[in-house]
Copies of this chain bind each other. A is one copy, B any other.
Amino acid sequence: MAVKPTEAQITRYADMFAAMGTDARLRIVRLLLAAHPDGMVAGEIGAELGIPASTLSHHLEKLRNEDLVRVRRESTFLWYSANAEALQELLGFLYAECCTRNKAIQPQAIVTLCK
Q: Which residues does chain B contribute within 8 Å of A115, judged by CB atoms?
A: 2
Chain copies in complex: 2
A14–B18 CB distance below 8 A = no
Within 8 A of B (CB), among A62-88: 82, 84, 87-88
> Does A53 sit at the interface, judged by CB under 8 A?
no
Q: Does A91 contact B (CB under 8 A)?
A: yes
Nearest-CB distance from A88 to chain B (Å)? 5
Which residue of chain B is the closest to A5 with respect to CB atoms? B30
Binding site for B on A (CB under 8 A): 1-2, 10-11, 13-15, 17-23, 25-27, 29-30, 33-34, 36-37, 82, 84, 87-88, 90-92, 94-105, 107, 109-111, 113-115
